[in-house]
Structure 1
């Protein structure tokens, strides 16, 4: 089962997200008047500003497909660092979510433990 993935933000992902959410119009400032269309250069400037804001923020996305072992996710992280600007790269594992006491969080509808992404840290105490 594939349970490891790389999360973070890269400049390419931020730019793609900025292109999706940046509007092509701006308010005319007058009540009852239709919004004004942005020119291509104005829109590109708005996209660049939005991408810079995304890169400066804290939001992260899943950057990689799911891997079977953490070393493959580590290799993906190394490649991502070499290819361009990135931030907050980390490996997460899909497993049971636990509370502060270490007990699994139970889904009230299914009475089963909740499954979600948690930060992965190698546990070297099991190595003999």
Structure 2
């Protein structure tokens, strides 16, 4: 059962997200006028600025496929750190979600416990 994955942010993922979300127009300073189109150079500059902002932020994405064991996720993290610019790489496990008191959160519609991603701490991390 695959239950572990690596979450974080890399420069490539940030750049791809910035390309999707950066607009190709800017507001026109004249009132009641259509927006102005950005040139390719202006748009590329806006994309790079947005990607830098994403890299400085806190948002993370799932970077890996799901793994059967946490050691495979740890190997993936080691490779990512060697190959590219990245931040906040963490292993998360798929598990039943619990509230602050430790009781499982129940889905009102299905009456089953909600399942989601939680931060995984290895035995070495717990001991430290």
The TM-score, its normalising length taken from structure 1, stands at 0.93
Equivalent-residue separation in structure 2 for 1:74 and 1:13 (angstroms)? 19
Structure 1 portions without partners, runs of 5+: none
Matches within 5 A, 1:1-128: 1-123=1-123
Q: How many residues align?
A: 124
User: After the TM superposition, which parts of structure 1 deviate over 3 Å for at least 4 consecutive aligned residues?
Assistant: none
Equivalent-residue separation in structure 2 for 1:34 and 1:46 (angstroms)? 20
Superposed displacement of residue 30, structure 1: 1.6
Equivalent-residue separation in structure 1 for 2:97 and 2:123 (angstroms)? 17
Equivalent-residue separation in structure 2 for 1:27 and 1:103 (angstroms)? 50
Equivalent-residue separation in structure 2 for 1:104 and 1:34 (angstroms)? 52
1:24-62 deviation per Cα after TM superposition (whole angstroms, max 9, x unaligned): 111112222111111111001000000000000000000
Equivalent-residue separation in structure 1 for 2:116 and 2:101 (angstroms)? 17
Secondary structure of the structure 1 residue equivalent to 2:77: helix
Superposed displacement of residue 109, structure 1: 1.0
